[in-house]
């Protein structure tokens, strides 16, 4: 298939073209990544028409159960839903925690849903790059809700938050120690906290947890004057609280859209992303540079032994790099 044909196929929502496009994006082959860039350029005008939702939570919090419930709810309303995953640990563990085929069994069979496991990659940056580009291709293919899921290994929550409009933190009703279970900095990026498994005898514990989260949130500086982070309860298993969670996402979009904050955030994300890519590529160029390669071990050794200062060493390496 020619690139133009792939692009046209994607825009018509054809699965075969979508799969081809994603294969190009995920490929390690240099020619393929050049082709992927050209393809993305062609698709760009057709992107952006979705709501991008990030979802995080510890393993067992109920992410896949929740995403399946939400996805089925949305596809029943006529939405097209894409689910992508960011999981840099998949390479290390030999199998992706998020990519398990048995997850979201019903949703994955739905014709209006597209589920893609985390791309392989040893670095979070690499996985994020592929996921972000796949998200754009899905948008061009007409998916109007894109969900990016992460288990929260290392920095992955922050990375996912930087590519979505709305970041949802899935929590469990605990026994009064909920707040300790939240990784530092994650509370700060949540646009909503959703306490899952809040049914039956868990209900009162979930209510208690809700009050504790609300108290903790009050201590944080609000990120936007237009949005107060809500704490919601749901049971993904019983399909309760799903509609409320979706309505919260819609009211967020509405509230943020009123003063252009929604668009501003996307623009900022796009320029931040450009810088991330540029710096990644520069680092790559630098590390593969012949002059740098010839000198780097020696200079590093000199720094380690205290013969040269780190700043003088960095300047020296930069100078040999610029000599081209």
Positions in the binding site for ligand GDP (CB under 6 A)? 57, 59-65, 196-197, 199, 235-237
Nearest distance from C-beta of residue 61 to ligand GDP, angstroms: 4
Handedness of CA 295, 296, 297, 301 (dihedral sign): positive
CB neighbours of residue 79 within 10 Å: 17
Nearer to ligand GDP, 61 or 299 (CB): 61
Please name the residues in contact with 187: beta carbons below 8 A apart, sequence gap of 6 or more. Answer: 169, 193, 216, 217, 220
The whole-angstrom separation of Cα 252 and Cα 229 is 10
Tell me how far, at minimum, the Cβ of 41 lies from ligand GDP, in Å: 35
- CA distances 171 to 176, 182, 188, 193, 258, Å, are 13, 9, 15, 7, 29
Q: How far is the CB of 290 from ligand GDP (least distance, A)?
A: 47
Query: Which is closer to ligand GDP, CB of 125 or CB of 174?
Result: 174
Shortest CB 126 distance to ligand GDP, Å = 23
Q: Closer to ligand GDP at the Cβ: 181 or 257? A: 181
SS3 call for 279: helix
**9 versus 241: smaller Cβ distance to ligand GDP:** 241
**Hunting for tokens 């952006």 — which residue is that?**
48
Q: 73 vs 265, which CB is nearer to ligand GDP?
A: 73
Provide the minimum distance between the beta carbon of 198 and ligand GDP in the complex, in angstroms, as a whole number: 7
The helix or strand, by DSSP H or E, that contains position 205, with its residue range, turns out to be helix 203-218
In the complex, what is the shortest distance from the CB of residue 147 to ligand GDP, in angstroms, rounded to a whole number? 12
How crowded is residue 281: how many other Cβ atoms within 10 Å of its Cβ?
10
Helix (H, G, I), strand (E, B) or coil at 82: strand
Spatial distance between the Cα atoms of 167 and 86, rounded to a whole number of angstroms: 14
Please answer whether residues 256 and 226 qualify as being in contact, where contact means their C-beta atoms are separated by less than 8 angstroms. yes
Contacts of 61 (CB under 8 A, 6+ apart): 170, 171, 172, 196
Nearer to ligand GDP by C-beta: 9 or 54? Answer: 54
In whole angstroms, the minimum distance from the beta carbon of 49 to ligand GDP comes to 28
Nearer to ligand GDP, 236 or 245 (CB): 236
């Amino acid at each position: 298939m020619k690139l133009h044909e792939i692009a046209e196929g994607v825009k018509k929502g054809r699965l075969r073209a979508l799969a081809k496009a994603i294969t190009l994006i995920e490929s390690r082959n240099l020619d393929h990544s050049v082709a992927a860039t050209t393809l993305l350029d062609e698709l760009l005008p057709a992107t952006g028409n979705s709501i991008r939702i990030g979802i995080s939570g510890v393993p067992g919090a109920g992410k896949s159960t929740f995403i399946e419930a939400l996805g089925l709810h949305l596809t029943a309303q006529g939405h097209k839903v894409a689910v992508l995953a960011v999981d840099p640990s998949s390479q290390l563990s030999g199998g992706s925690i998020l990519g398990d085929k048995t997850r979201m069994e019903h949703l994955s069979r739905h014709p209006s849903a597209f589920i893609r496991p985390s791309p392989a990659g040893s670095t979070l940056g690499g996985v994020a790059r592929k996921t972000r580009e796949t998200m754009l291709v899905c948008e061009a293919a007409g998916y109007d809700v894109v969900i990016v899921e992460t288990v929260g290994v290392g920095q992955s929550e922050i990375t996912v938050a930087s590519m979505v409009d709305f970041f949802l933190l899935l929590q469990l009703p605990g026994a009064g120690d909920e707040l300790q279970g939240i990784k530092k900095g994650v509370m700060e990026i949540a646009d909503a906290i959703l306490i899952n498994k809040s049914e039956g005898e868990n209900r009162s514990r979930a209510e208690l947890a809700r009050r504790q989260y609300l108290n903790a949130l009050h201590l944080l500086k609000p990120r936007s004057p237009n949005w107060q982070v809500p704490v919601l309860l749901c049971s993904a298993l019983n399909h309760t609280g799903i509609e409320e969670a979706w309505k919260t996402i819609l009211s967020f979009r509405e509230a943020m859209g009123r003063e252009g904050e929604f668009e501003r955030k996307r623009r900022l994300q796009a320029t931040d992303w450009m810088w991330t890519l540029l710096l990644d590529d520069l680092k790559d160029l630098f590390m593969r540079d012949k002059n740098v390669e010839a000198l780097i071990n020696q200079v590093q050794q000199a720094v380690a032994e205290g013969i040269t200062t780190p700043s003088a060493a960095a300047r020296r390496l930069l100078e040999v790099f610029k000599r081209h």
